[in-house]
Amino acid sequence: MSIPGQQSADALISRLGVHVDPDLLVLALTHRSFAYEAGGLPTNERLEFLGDSVLGVVVTDRLYHAHPDLPEGELAKMRAACVSQRALAVVAREIGLGPCILLGKGERATGGNDKDSILCDAFEAILGAIYLTHGTDVVREVILRLLGPSLAAAATSGVALDWKTSLQEACAERGLGSPVYQVTGEGPDHARLFTATVIIAGEPKGSGTGTAKKHAEQDAAAEAYAALTTVD
């Protein structure tokens, strides 16, 4: 199987700065919608799972050593900001990942190559492929180079680091109790979409969507936080 737009693929490898095993690269770029339409090919989801874990360890290690005086809660917020769907989608666009992703016809028709969720998942899968090709040291270098601006900004980003945590704290300050998230999923397995609604003091205050529950909840929390603090 070839990657769409070989010129785009070559540019992607150039921006990554490392060689990636060709078979792993194709697998990392194979979205489930494409795999489904092609008769059940392997998808990038296992590589995404691996890359997500590697990313978390590398970012946590860097933040832990870069900020020795910060408590666990603040470090958790900073990590959440660096590895959020939106943050990783920004990096994916910077390296030209979108045009290389193998998508089904429906996803291509709806602009799937530029959806935050798809870009984020593919980026994590690429990291998994780099890890399997080269090991820990090389993937760490790639992550720290590509996420350098996010890591630097995390120290000064303040409240918007982790919307769920920020919303929890804002509700506690106002005596509103803990936010409750109601999540539903729809669509076939190869194109699952989750919708989250956050309930505060018995009323819906925000909603969000994503291909993963955690992303839908973060978007819902961001909307609720904005609504809650605007009232103040």
72 is in an annotated binding site: no
Residue 72 is a catalytic residue: no
CB distance 97 to 117 below 8 Å: no
186 is in an annotated binding site: no
Report how far residue 160's alpha carbon sits from residue 173's, in angstroms, rounded to the nearest whole number: 16
Beta bridge partners of 186: 193
Given the residues 23, 69, 74, 124, select the one marked as catalytic: 124
Given the residues 21, 37, 45, 52, select the one marked as catalytic: 52
Query: Measured between alpha carbons, how far apart are the two ends of the chain, in Å?
Result: 55
Q: State whether the Cα torsion 220-224-225-227 is positive or negative.
A: positive
Write out the DSSP string of 97-153.
Answer: -GGG-B--HHHHHTTGGG-HHHHHHHHHHHHHHHHHHH-HHHHHHHHHHHTHHHHHH
Residue 52 is a catalytic residue: yes
How many Cβ atoms are within 10 Å of 118's Cβ, its own excluded?
A: 24
124 is in an annotated binding site: yes
Q: What are the φ/ψ torsions at residue 181 (nearest 5 degrees)? A: -105, 125
As annotated, the binding site for Mg(2+) includes 48, 121, 124
Active site amino acids = 52, 124
